[in-house]
Amino acid sequence: MAKAKTVFFCSECGGESVKWYGRCPHCGAWNTLVEEAISREKPAPPGQSPREIVKPQAIAKVAAANIQRQTLDMPELDRVLGGGLTPGSSILLGGEPGIGKSTLLLQAAAAMAKRGPVLYISAEESAAQIRMRGERLHALEANLYILAQTDVDEALRQAEEMPLTLLIADSVQALYSPALSSASGSVSQVRAVAAACVAFARKKNIPVMLIGHVTKEGLLAGPRVLEHMVDTVLYFEGERYNSLRLLRAVKNRFGSTNELGVFQMEREGLQPLSDASAYFISNRRPEEPGSAVTCVMQGNRPLLVEIQALVGKSAFGNPRRLAGGYDYNRLLLIIAILEKKLHLPLGDKDVYLSVAGGARADDPAADLAAAAAIVSSLKEKPLPQDVLLAGEAGLLGELRNVGQTEKRCREGAAFGFRHILLPAGSGGETNGIRLLPAKDLQQALTILDLSF
């Protein structure tokens, strides 16, 4: 194939240059030129062929799309996708190397292959390597096809000839478009590869799943625009030395972005962890000071997590503060409230806060548990074992209501908590669990027998 003509555009000012410069000749910005293939054809709007004439129509007259989601029978993945795969949609799965992206999608491919042919394009590993992984995962389905190919045009040409139900591309950074001269993995290449795959999904009306690497900063490698091009962006996270893997949606045109999928990486692939609350509080030592349990909401799903705090005298002038699985600035805020409003002597203490088991507690409802854990460690006095804590701390030391208290109560009751400490005025189901209302942190600590 003849090379398509390419030009360079500045990502700052949009200025055009025929060759690459370190500095944009138009606006003077450094390192902003991006190569792009120029094509004479105008892009068609989604779902239409290029030459069709489109007239405006009243919104009520637009034929309703009958979206048929295809579930994968992998409940943890289906839920994060918004109930399954939507035909014609494109899904980008991001994550650090080695976290298990290829494993997850090979399992998804095998599940989908029970319905019809699935093509897994691998630009990183050979077909034999994928087969080896497939053996471990029991994924040797008759309808699952592997294509080891790095040229995206050639791979899609092969895909074109198959009656596919799902296409997987592993990964956007390793595939390349021969239309561009830049190296694979560069901004323009990543964009061209993703664009080709997204267009294929729309044209064939099948779901396409793309794997993307993330940079050290935890962002998808490649331009932000990649996230705009696809319908759904999922992130796969976890710690390397821990088998827990969390899947979340950061963008989803077909569902909520609050859902969380929880897996465990085992010898035979990723296993769903439907009973995640049990996992996160399983190693708890409630008789120790500094441990508090809260219920955070992950979308519609309540999750019990243990917050641990360690408070000790600083050896140096500047006290250290460290947060794991909890927002660092939020920790500083809680410490400030405890110092100023409750007059607790934390100014010369190191404070370490961590959410046990590799979970994250981003829900503001975790504030109360964080504060209680810190005070418990400071006083060296354990919290009552059967009290669940949920409440957002305000700057004045007041406790603010958190939503979905009924679900939190039910989850707590299911795991043996007999009391739940909540901001005064929160509703909640009292079935099996007793509500302990508190209007501010001071009152909460009194109820917990931790007041000074």
In the list 24, 99, 118, 331, the residue contacting ligand TYD (rule: CB under 6 A) is 99
- The binder of 403, among ligand TYD, Mg ion, none, by C-beta within 5 to 8 A per type, is none
Distance of alpha carbon 133 from alpha carbon 128, whole angstroms: 9
Piece of the chain touching ligand TYD by CB under 6 A; list 18-26, 129-137, 189-197, 302-310 = 129-137
Nearer to Mg ion among residue 93 and residue 387 (C-beta): 93
Binding-site partner at residue 414 among ligand TYD, Mg ion, none, CB < 5 to 8 Å by type: none
| Binder among 84, 88, 95, 212 for ligand TYD (CB under 6 A) | 95
- Return the residue of 136, 157, 285, 340 that touches ligand TYD, per CB under 6 A: 136
User: How far, in Å, CA of 387 to CA of 292, rounded?
Assistant: 8
Taking the complex as a whole, the smallest distance from the CB of residue 351 to Mg ion amounts, in Å, to 38
Can residue 133 be called a binding residue for ligand TYD (CB under 6 A)? yes
What letter would DSSP give residue 276?
H
362/294 Cα distance (integer angstroms): 12
Nearest to 387 by CA among 449, 310, 330: 449
Q: Which positions from 279 through 308 interact with ligand TYD, judged by CB under 6 A?
A: none
Beta bridge partners of 324: 354
Find the shortest distance in angstroms from Cβ 294 to ligand TYD.
30
Per DSSP, helices labelled H in 72-214 are 75-81, 101-112, 127-136, 152-160, 187-204
DSSP-based three-state secondary structure for 277: helix
What count of other Cβ atoms lies within 10 Å of the Cβ of residue 296?
26
Q: DSSP letters along 182-194, please?
A: SPTTSHHHHHHHH
Report the partner that residue 98 touches, choosing among Mg ion, ligand TYD, none (CB closer than 5 to 8 A by kind): ligand TYD
> Which C-beta is closer to ligand TYD: that of 24 or that of 111?
111
Question: Coil, helix or strand for 12?
Answer: coil
Residue 354 pairs in a beta bridge with: 308, 324
Q: In whole angstroms, how close is the CB of 210 to ligand TYD at the nearest point?
A: 12
Minimum separation from the CB atom of position 129 to ligand TYD (A): 9
Q: Using CB under 6 A, which of the segments 10-18, 33-41, 101-109, 191-199 binds ligand TYD?
A: 101-109
- Per rule CB under 6 A, is residue 74 in the interface with ligand TYD? no
Select 99 or 335, whichever has its Cβ closest to Mg ion.
99
Q: How many other C-beta atoms are found inside a 10 Å radius of the C-beta of residue 136?
A: 13
Please name the helix (run of DSSP H) or strand (run of DSSP E) that holds residue 447, with its range, or none: helix 441-447
Tell me the window of 45-53, 93-101, 363-371, 389-397 that interacts with ligand TYD (CB under 6 A). Answer: 93-101
Asked whether 401 and 425 are in contact (CB, 8 A), the reply is: yes
Among 67-75, 98-106, 161-169, 355-363, the segment contacting ligand TYD (CB under 6 A): 98-106
User: In angstroms, rounded to a whole number, what is the distance separating the alpha carbons of residues 331 and 335?
Assistant: 6
Which of 70, 90, 102, 182 forms a contact with ligand TYD (CB under 6 A)?
A: 102
> Cα separation of 180 and 412, whole Å?
56
Q: Which of residues 92-111 bind Mg ion (CB under 5 A)?
A: 102
Residues 258-277 contacting ligand TYD, CB under 6 A:
265, 267-269
103 interacts with, out of ligand TYD, Mg ion, none, CB within 5 to 8 A per kind? ligand TYD
Closest distance to Mg ion from the beta carbon of 143 (Å): 22
Instruction: Assess contact for 148 and 122: CB atoms under 8 A.
Output: yes
| Length of the chain as a residue count | 452
* Residue 224 to residue 228: CA distance in whole angstroms: 7
Considering the complex, what minimum distance in angstroms separates the CB of residue 197 from ligand TYD? 17
Question: Binding residues for ligand TYD, how many (CB under 6 A)?
Answer: 15
**In terms of Cα–Cα distance, which of 194, 188, 162, 165 is closest to 93?**
194
- Judged by the rule CB under 6 A, the positions of this chain that interact with ligand TYD are 95, 97-103, 133, 136-137, 265, 267-269
- Judged by the rule CB under 5 A, the positions of this chain that interact with Mg ion are 102
